[in-house]
Amino acid sequence: MSAAPELLLTYRGRVVPEWVDYNGHLRDAFYLLIFSLATDELMNLIGLDEAGRQASGNSLFTLECHLNYLHEVKQDTEVTVQTQVLGLDGKRLHIYHSLHREGSDEAVAANEQMLLHVDMAGPRSAPFGPALLARLTALRQAHQPLGLPRYAGRRIGLPT
């Protein structure tokens, strides 16, 4: 996959019949499957593809995520995911995915994720190696001018 000018393009595909509910709309959990596949592609882009995981013994685990459902998506819709690196520390990576109908800038869903770098031999948390840390830092710096996206940092609650 190729990278968009600013954000990363991490998924392109079609909403398949297995992913829709009784209404013919993408079921909530399958929005997250698409975002999870987008995280896989991000891992490919930063060198944590299958070969990289086997060579390093390291991977990324999801600690926590937040989803906002903004529009319904029907079966057979072509969709893409754009990804922004929001931040990182020595072993954690904070990212934001947005789901779009192919060719549209409007997000139909948003997904914030906190990922942990792990040594799979434990599994236990492990600091990013120097090469990976350099790649992630470069991405964060490239994305920093974009600012915090609309649905990042949200807390769920009823209006009071």
The contact set with its own copies (CB under 8 A) reads 22-23, 27-30, 32-33, 35-36, 50, 59, 61-69, 72, 87-89, 92, 94, 112-114, 120, 123, 152-159
Cβ proximity to its own copies: between 64 and 78 the closer is 64
Token pair listed for 113 = 């994720």
Cβ proximity to its own copies: between 91 and 101 the closer is 91
Cβ proximity to its own copies: between 3 and 92 the closer is 92
Token pair listed for 70 = 């903004």
Least distance to its own copies from the beta carbon of 5, Å? 26
Least distance to its own copies from the beta carbon of 134, Å? 18
Distance CA 38, CA 31 (A): 11
Can you state the percent helix, strand and coil of the chain, rounding each to 5?
Answer: 30, 35, 35
Token pair listed for 129 = 């190696």
Cβ proximity to its own copies: between 12 and 66 the closer is 66
Cβ proximity to its own copies: between 33 and 55 the closer is 33
Least distance to its own copies from the beta carbon of 51, Å? 12
43-52 long-range Cβ contacts below 8 angstroms, 24+ apart: 45/3, 45/8, 45/10, 46/132, 46/135, 46/136, 46/139, 47/131, 47/132, 47/135, 48/132
Least distance to its own copies from the beta carbon of 145, Å? 19
116, containing H or E segment: strand 107-119
Least distance to its own copies from the beta carbon of 29, Å? 4
